[in-house]
């Protein structure tokens, strides 16, 4: 049995042009979220973890310097690459990007944000910006410290290359982790680790077309090109890099990040969380 119930006076539906448009722009909302998320990251435990992240590559390099002798610039560059744009950026983004939605559900703040005009999109894009800014800042500090203790000849000449690798790594990986964050928010961390292993370190090292869709191929290729190692590499190793020019590598990462972010935003726009999943 269905009953129709009418209470109070029903005003005539307002004409479309009479309806107030949202007063805010998406960009303003995104910046608000980014600012709020960054403020959340400025807590003692988070700062302590970030400090560890900054110190760790330098500590490893110092240990390596004590072990190896002679010219070791190439080794140092490889270690720097493995530790900073790969490991440190990956870990930083796992911690900051994966809980984008899960944190809000846990804190009971999701409903407050989801009812705002651009709340869902702003949450994802703002968290993305905050995650990239935070992780890149930590990685750049770590890079500076590591270069300072690296013992390489002219270490600061490597800074632009590595800073670019850090930026691209953060951009691409944060977008990659946005997908698990919106699809399986409560298992985002585990899912993202899986995605990182399968996509970045398995598919990324396959000498097949599929590796063109990974950030790790682009970063490796940029490193090889930036260091001028292309011709010295054995033929087998050359299968693991892409020889296209720098702008193609950078454009590919930006395009990949854009596609992943748009997909994540569209998914989050349609996501529904039963009341039992909140709080």
| Binding site residues, another protein, CB under 8 A | 1-11, 13-14, 19-25, 28-29, 32-33, 36, 39-40, 43, 106-109, 111-120, 122, 269-270, 272-276, 278-279
Phi, psi of 166 (to 5 degrees): -60, -45
Smallest distance, another protein to C-beta of residue 122, A:
6
Provide the residue count of the chain: 279
Contact 179, 195 (CB under 8 A): yes
Return d(Cα 176, Cα 100) in angstroms, integer: 13
Phi, psi of 231 (to 5 degrees): -75, -25
Torsion of CA 173, 179, 180, 185, to 10 degrees: 120
Smallest distance, another protein to C-beta of residue 245, A:
41
Smallest distance, another protein to C-beta of residue 265, A:
11
In the complex with another protein, which residue's Cβ is closer, 5 or 69? 5
In the complex with another protein, which residue's Cβ is closer, 120 or 173? 120
Return d(Cα 232, Cα 241) in angstroms, integer: 13
Smallest distance, another protein to C-beta of residue 183, A:
17
Return d(Cα 214, Cα 197) in angstroms, integer: 11
In the complex with another protein, which residue's Cβ is closer, 67 or 272? 272
In the complex with another protein, which residue's Cβ is closer, 22 or 74? 22
Smallest distance, another protein to C-beta of residue 270, A:
7
In the complex with another protein, which residue's Cβ is closer, 9 or 67? 9
Return d(Cα 125, Cα 129) in angstroms, integer: 6
């Amino acid at each position: 049995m269905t009953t129709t119930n009418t209470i109070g006076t029903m005003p005539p539906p307002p004409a479309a042009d009479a309806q107030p448009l949202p007063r805010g722009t998406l960009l303003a909302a995104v910046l608000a979220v980014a600012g709020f998320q960054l403020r959340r990251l400025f807590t003692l435990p988070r700062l302590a973890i970030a400090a560890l992240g900054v110190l760790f590559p330098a500590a490893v390099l110092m240990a390596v310097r004590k072990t190896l002798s002679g010219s070791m610039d190439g080794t140092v560059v490889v270690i720097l690459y493995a530790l900073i744009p790969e490991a440190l950026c990956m870990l930083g983004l796992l911690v900051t990007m994966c809980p984008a939605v899960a944190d809000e559900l846990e804190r009971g703040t999701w409903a407050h944000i989801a009812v705002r005009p651009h709340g869902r999109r702003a949450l994802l894009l703002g968290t993305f910006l905050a995650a990239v800014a935070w992780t890149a800042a930590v990685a750049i500090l770590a890079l500076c410290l590591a270069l300072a203790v690296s013992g390489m000849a002219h270490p600061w000449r490597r800074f632009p290359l590595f800073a670019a690798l850090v930026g691209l790594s953060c951009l691409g990986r944060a977008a990659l982790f946005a997908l698990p964050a919106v699809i399986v928010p409560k298992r985002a961390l585990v899912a993202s680790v899986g995605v990182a292993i399968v996509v970045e370190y398995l598919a990324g090292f396959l000498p097949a077309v599929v590796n063109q869709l990974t950030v790790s191929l682009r970063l490796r290729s940029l490193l090889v090109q930036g260091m001028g190692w292309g011709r010295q590499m054995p033929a087998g190793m050359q299968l693991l890099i892409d020889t296209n020019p720098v702008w193609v590598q950078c454009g590919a990462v930006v395009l990949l990040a854009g596609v992943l972010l748009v997909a994540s935003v569209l998914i989050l726009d349609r996501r529904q969380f039963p009341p039992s999943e909140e709080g």
